[in-house]
Amino acid sequence: MIAQGQRRYFEGIAWFLASLLVCETNDVITKFLERTLSPLHVICGRFFFGTLALLPFMLGRAENFRSRHLGANCLRGLILFVGMFIWCYSLDASQLSIACLINFTTPMFTLLLAAFILKEKIGRPRIIATAIGFLGVAVVLNPRTAPFPTAAAALFLVSAAFFAVLDVLNKVLVTRENTLPSLFYTGFFAMLFSAATAAIAHYRRRDEAPFSFEEFIFGLLSVEISHILLLILLGIGANLLMFCILKSFSRVDISATAPFRYVELILASAFGYLFFGEKISINAVWGAIIIVPSVIYLARYEAKTGPRQRQKEPVSPLRCC
């Protein structure tokens, strides 16, 4: 029989892997939509329909609209919007696999933030597994044998830093805030930030002409039905992604999930080839050969010693209710 601690660990990792699958599906939809829509409109539609999809679940009980950390959720919404905007802007000119690989710098930021802010014990095996994973990333992005998009890489690095901060905030609030209001208000504030930015961009494109809110709204409503359906799926996927992440972080430390992000490489490469005809380079194959064993090693290590180590870890004041 699997011990309670081990079951929680496997459940946490399963939720995290599910979040990676949802994340890559969202990237496919986003990249397809950006063939005809601007990144700002894609993000605005994503958060609008994501917030709208949560309303039926919110209306049942009045306490669902009560948040004890409205300011923190607003901050999360801002960080989520900025990170998503940079990500979507760069994704339009990059392959899914390249975007995924650059995003693998997120665990490094996350491990550092978890150690210094949440006081989590990273542990040598986690550090080794993460370092081996980055070695695989270096093999894939070797500039001597593969093109290296410097500008896109720089932007992806910035977005990775924002996502790492978001991961830490998610971990801090997961025991302080109920999941439903946390999802709703984070998406709601992200929608407000994206809508305001899109409105400003629309105004500037009109060469300082008087701003017409009706014209702006009509432009949004004139989007094709097929694009609206994809934006609805994107909004639902955004909620599902955050739900999976919160479920994962409620069961395991964020530093324990960091090396498992490398599974996303396989998903990104497969989806890029299936939907956009992006070829998988030999560098990616060699990188995967390095990355996958490190993930398997970490999983075996955590299954044997992870629950015992987590019981010894002191509880950070930031995690208290």
CB 79 within 8 A of CB 190: no
> How many distinct structural domains can be found in the chain?
1
With respect to residue 197, please indicate whether it lies within any of the assigned structural domains: yes
Residue 75 phi, psi (nearest 5): -65, -40
Q: Which domain holds residue 281?
A: 4-313
Query: What pLDDT shows up at residue 222?
Result: 61
CA distance 286 to 191: 40
For the chain, state the CA radius of gyration.
20
Cβ atoms within 10 Å of 200's Cβ, excluding its own: 12
Of 107, 99, 133, 89, nearest to 295 (Cα)?
133
With respect to residue 102, please indicate whether it lies within any of the assigned structural domains: yes
pLDDT in tens, the chain (321 residues): 457 778 888 999 999 999 999 999 999 999 999 888 888 889 989 999 999 999 988 887 778 888 888 898 999 999 999 999 998 888 887 888 878 877 777 767 777 777 777 777 777 777 787 788 778 777 766 666 555 566 766 788 789 889 888 888 877 777 777 878 888 898 899 999 998 887 777 666 555 444 455 555 555 566 678 888 999 999 999 889 878 988 898 888 777 787 787 788 889 988 999 999 888 777 767 877 887 777 667 666 665 654 444 444 333 333 232
With respect to residue 320, please indicate whether it lies within any of the assigned structural domains: no
For the chain, give the number of residues: 321
Residue 98 phi, psi (nearest 5): -65, -45
Which residue do the tokens 């410097």 mark? 150
pTM: 0.74
With respect to residue 300, please indicate whether it lies within any of the assigned structural domains: yes
CA distance 264 to 9: 19
SS3 171: helix
With respect to residue 252, please indicate whether it lies within any of the assigned structural domains: yes
CB 181 within 8 A of CB 124: no
With respect to residue 318, please indicate whether it lies within any of the assigned structural domains: no
Q: How far is CA 116 from CA 79, 250, 261, 318, in A?
A: 19, 19, 21, 12
Residue 224 phi, psi (nearest 5): -60, 150
Query: What pLDDT shows up at residue 18?
Result: 95
Query: What pLDDT shows up at residue 19?
Result: 93
With respect to residue 319, please indicate whether it lies within any of the assigned structural domains: no
With respect to residue 249, please indicate whether it lies within any of the assigned structural domains: yes
